[in-house]
Structure 1
Amino acid sequence: MSRALNRVYVIGVGMTKFEKPGRREDFDYPDMAKESTTKAIKDAGVSYKDVEQAFVGYVYGDSTCGQRALYPLGMTGVPIFNVNNNCSTGSSALYLAAKHVAGGLADCVLALGFEKMQRGSLTSQFSDRTNPMDKHIEKMSDLYEFANAPGAAQLFGNAGRDYMKKYNVSPDVFAKIAWKNHKHSKNNPYSQFRDEYTLEEIKNSPVVYEPLTKLQCCPTSDGSAAAVIVNENYIKKHPEVQKHAVEILAIEMATDLPSTFDSNDCMRLVGYDMAKRAADKAYATAGIKPSDVQVVELHDCFSANELITYEALGLCGEGKAGEFVERGDNTYGGKYVVNPSGGLISKGHPLGATGLAQCAELCWQLRNQADKRQVPGARIGLQHNIGLGGACIVAIYRLGTFTTIRVNSKL
């Protein structure tokens, strides 16, 4: 966001525990939304009546689920927008909220995401119209024979195969990423899975699509997350929120480029170029370098995507992601801590909630509130959330600084 615009802050976050679909009988989407929004409002120290607009993200549901989810908290008559951008839906709601408060269209906005999912692999819900992923599947099928495996696993698995061929890395590198994320989630009470596995257990779990085994793939999940977003005008009027406000230094979105389909490269087919484009824009807007970041929440829908995204985000050089993993530069004691929450692989992936759960984790890390999974000295956090079809959002956060605002607030 341009520095000529209002500065943007997250002052409250909340989320539910992510659950296996259907595990909780009392967990329909209005229940999830009420829980996460109530937590975010309480964390912010504001009233729901302060919310001037709401952006609500979900993928599976009818057209005004956002209204149905929020009406029990108060029928205040404010605009409520329903957002769907595949797996980047939650961060798309966050993006819209941030842009609205940055532009002065509202001072206090709610971003909410939730998903109530079916068990098993994702499938298309409409068979009587063009599938938005048809060109991606057609291109992949030109490069690899379509297999009897979930489509998403094939897309990302083939991206992993392309990386292995191009840079001569072992499939063990992908397993080590999953091992790391399952280990991280052990300390996350919101995580769907909290079991720690050995590397051999990761490698020997059932093969979904080579090189990916089951424990290297994210599960479907039920859950919700929410964030209260304000600008400096709001903080001037409510200086008490300064102590826990986290500034969004940049939030950028990119969609597919011609190279997605022209490159004969499955890494680009699953969003490498749009991730790099969004990241480069975010770094430039925030005025930082990748090396300034300490903690990253990255879209690891499959371990292969985490590997290729290290390079797209500039966390390591091109072709160096295998070495990056082997050195432990993606975990505690290394250069960065990537997915301290456990990531999608272990925390779970309720599509509409994921981007806002990433936001919540980074806010807790920067506030030093992450308990046993706290990243020491976390000052700047990076978020990456991608949806095929496609959209990628990259955001950069730091704890708010308010010397100027405190002076102005006395006027």
Structure 2
Amino acid sequence: MAGKVQVAGVGMIPFAKPGASAPYHAMGAEAARLALADAGIDYADVGQAYVGYVYGDSTCGQRALYQVGATGIPIVNVNNNCSTGSTALFLARQAVESGAADCVLALGFEQMNPGALGALFHDRDNVFAAFDAATDALVDQPGVPLALRYFGGAGQAHMRRHGTPLSSFAKIRAKASRHAAKNPKAVFRKEVTAEEVLADQVIWPGVMTRLMACPPTCGAAAAVLVSEAFAERRGLDRRVAIRAQAMTTDTPSTFEAGDMMRVVGYDMARAAADRVYEAAGVGPEDLDVVELHDCFAHNELITYEALRLCPEGGAERFIDDGDNTYGGRVVTNPSGGLLSKGHPLGATGLAQCYELTRQLRGTAEATQVEGARLALQHNLGLGGACVTTLYERS
């Protein structure tokens, strides 16, 4: 075993709207080079690479990394829906921690098209058949696109159970815009008010407006993970380490509980967070900063409770008290999150890693959370998988 896994380098390119980015392989190669340069090593030092993307043909990882170098190392291509980037990170961490490799690159990228997400293969069973069946029994909105029906339904369930007003979701979106305004790598940097969010185009009356959903985005991000021994031997940056990490998948409660919040991963997130807290010997009250999976404002709200940042039913007060932003209990999504920074599926988990690494180094500039020492990352993919990672400043 290699002891603590150090985050020696991170890299990220500015996210862009579909059609405004470089091709996936160019974006991926650039993010990899940035992470290597940040670590102060060459690609020849990398022993393995895990590359995540959702929309692409087989071996897109090789296509991107061959522009950085062709060294013959194992390159593993990863697809785990929206948790793809953090799944690559999870595998890279395991490789280093087990001693299989001293230096591993995790890379994620996505070249997306405009519009709602959908299936690409129509000649075989839908991977979301069980999720659709559970949703159809709970949500009567057949004309609403798949992802909006899932997460809007989860938000609606929270509203019905706890009396949560639509304005709580609007306040989350407004908070995201204020944070993203300070992040030059975010795709949407215009500040909006909660009132403007509520007045935006209605997608689902009483449940969702357009601004409450994250946009399809193109981009890439990467991280270099190394063993303590490698970092010491090479004189690399040892300020940030992965203290604990967990990946979970669905259990029967996802489909049998009759609860849309569980259909979209509440139980996966709760289980992954609890495992991380237990392994690290800390609690949610110890966190300084969190990057969580806000694909919709609705998912950010229910994730506050899944991660135990506030009690169940306490999200409305958590938001109204400003405990989710600067000056509050824990700063959530200082990057602007998926809602404003953007959501290139394969890159998202590694973009979260990029932001939190800079936070713990104290180099996040305008988005810096003062004195940050413990940071939590939550990355969710329906289908499903959830990866939660706890970083610490060494």
Range into which the TM-score falls when normalised by the shorter chain: over 0.9
After the TM superposition, which residues 66-85 of structure 1 pair with which residues of structure 2 at under 5 Å, given as runs? 66-85=61-80
Residue 306 of structure 2 is matched in structure 1 by 312
> 2:356 matched to 1:362?
yes
Secondary structure of the corresponding residue to residue 37 of structure 2: helix
Measured in 1, the distance between the counterparts of 2:116 and 2:333 equals 23
Other-structure match for 2:177: 182
Determine the C-alpha separation between the residues in 2 that align with 1:117 and 1:241.
Answer: 34
Identity of aligned residues (%): 53
- State the distance in 2 between where 1:99 and 1:372 align: 33
The answer (yes or no) to whether the contact 2:53–2:108 under 8 Å persists in 1 is yes
Query: What does residue 192 of structure 2 align with?
Result: 197
Match of 2:367 among 373, 380, 388: 373
* Residue 214 of structure 2 is aligned to residue 218 of structure 1: yes
Three-state SS of the structure 2 residue aligned to 1:226 is strand
Structure 2 gaps, min length 5: none
1:91 alignment partner in structure 2: 86
1:274 to 265, 268, 273: 268
Q: Paired residue for 2:231?
A: 235
Q: Is the 8 A contact 1:163 1:267 kept in 2?
A: yes
1:116-135 map, 5 Å = 116-135=111-130
Q: Partner amino acid for 1:324?
A: F
Q: Which amino acid aligns with 1:196?
A: E
- The reply to whether residue 12 of structure 1 matches residue 9 of structure 2 is yes
TM-score, normalised via structure 2 length: 0.98
Look up the match of 2:328: 334
The CA deviation at 1:161 is 0.6
Shift of 1:373: 1.1
What's 1:406 paired with? Answer: none
1:161-176 equivalences under 5 Å are 161-176=156-171
Which letter maps to 1:323? R
Q: Contact 1:259–1:268 (CA<8 Å) still a contact in 2?
A: yes
Partner letter of residue 169 of structure 1?
A: T
Distance 1:166 1:132 in 2: 29
Q: TM-score, normalised by structure 1?
A: 0.94
User: Which residue of the other structure, out of 340, 360, 367, is the alignment partner of 1:346?
Assistant: 340
Give, in whole Å, the separation in 2 of the partners of 1:228 and 1:129: 37
CA contact (8 A) 1:6 1:104 kept: no
**Which digits, 9 at most, give the CA deviation of each residue in 1:311-331, with x for residues without a partner?**
110101111111111111000
The equivalent of 1:324 in structure 2 is 318
Q: Shift of the alpha carbon at 1:164?
A: 0.6
Q: What letter matches 1:194 in structure 2?
A: R
Pairwise CA distance, 1:236: 2.8
Could you say what secondary structure the match of 2:237 adopts? helix
Structure 1 vs Structure 2 CA RMSD:
1.0
Counterpart CA distance in 1 for 2:392 and 2:69 is 31
Deviation per residue, 1:208-254 (Å, 9 max, x gap): 23412111110001100000000112123123433xx4100011000
Please give the alpha-carbon distance, in whole angstroms, between the structure 1 residues aligned to 2:235 and 2:297: 42
User: Structure 1, residues 106-163: CA drift from partner, whole Å, max 9, x if none?
Assistant: 0000000000001111010000111111110111011111331211011000100100
Aligned length: 393
Residue type of the partner of 2:188? Answer: F
C-alpha distance in structure 2 between counterparts of 1:236 and 1:35, whole Å: 26
2:17 maps to a residue whose letter is K
Task: Give the Å deviation of 1:399.
Answer: 1.6
CA distance change for structure 1 residues 291 and 51 in 2, over 3 Å: closer, same or farther?
Answer: same
**After alignment, is 143-152 or 250-259 more displaced?**
143-152
